[in-house]
C-alpha cells in the first residue's frame, strides 16, 4: 500500500482523469435510466386506467422539482447515448489518448444541448 492508494488498492490519482469522469457519468446515467423505466411504464399505464388518472398524474408533473428532474433525466439520457457511441468509437477505432478529451467534451456538449433544448420547450 502506497501513499496514493487506500486499503483496497485504489489509486486515487485516476479520479482526476477525464476518462474516469466519462466512465462515472456513463454508469450513473445508466443506473438513473434503469430506475426511471419502471416509473415511466407506470405513468404510461395511467393512460390505460382512465382519463382522470392520467390528468391527475400530468397535473403532478407541473411541479418545479419534477420539471427539474425531467431536464436532468434528458441530460442523463443524452449523455448515456453519446457516451455509448463514444465507447463504440473507441472500441472500433482504438484508444488514442490525444483525442479522448475532445470526445468526452463532445459527449457533455451534446447532452447539455439536448437538456437545454428540452428545458426551453418546457417554458
Nearest to 110 by CA among 80, 90, 69: 80
pLDDT score at 114: 93
pLDDT score at 118: 93
pLDDT score at 12: 58
From residue 92, alpha-carbon distances to 52, 65, 80, 88 in Å are 50, 40, 18, 6
pLDDT score at 46: 82
Cell of 108: 457533455
Nearest to 43 by CA among 59, 57, 61: 57
Q: Which domains can be identified in the chain, with CATH numbers?
A: 19-122 (1.20.1300.10)
In order along the chain (123 residues), what is the average pLDDT of each group of 10 residues? 57 70 89 91 85 86 91 93 86 74 88 94 74
Residue corresponding to grid cell 398524474: 57
Measured in Å, how far apart are the chain's first and last C-alpha atoms? Answer: 53
pLDDT score at 109: 93
Cell of 88: 463504440
Amino acid at each position: 500500500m502506497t501513499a496514493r492508494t487506500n486499503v483496497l488498492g485504489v489509486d486515487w490519482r485516476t479520479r482526476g482523469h477525464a476518462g474516469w469522469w466519462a466512465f462515472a457519468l456513463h454508469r450513473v446515467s445508466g443506473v438513473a435510466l434503469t430506475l426511471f423505466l419502471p416509473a415511466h411504464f407506470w405513468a404510461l399505464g395511467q393512460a390505460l386506467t382512465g382519463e382522470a388518472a392520467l390528468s391527475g398524474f400530468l397535473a403532478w408533473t407541473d411541479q418545479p422539482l419534477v420539471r427539474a428532474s425531467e431536464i436532468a433525466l434528458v441530460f442523463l439520457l443524452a449523455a448515456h447515448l453519446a457516451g455509448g457511441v463514444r465507447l463504440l468509437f473507441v472500441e472500433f477505432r482504438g484508444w488514442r489518448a490525444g483525442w479522448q478529451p475532445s470526445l468526452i467534451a463532445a459527449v457533455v456538449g451534446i447532452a447539455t444541448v439536448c437538456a437545454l433544448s428540452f428545458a426551453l420547450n418546457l417554458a
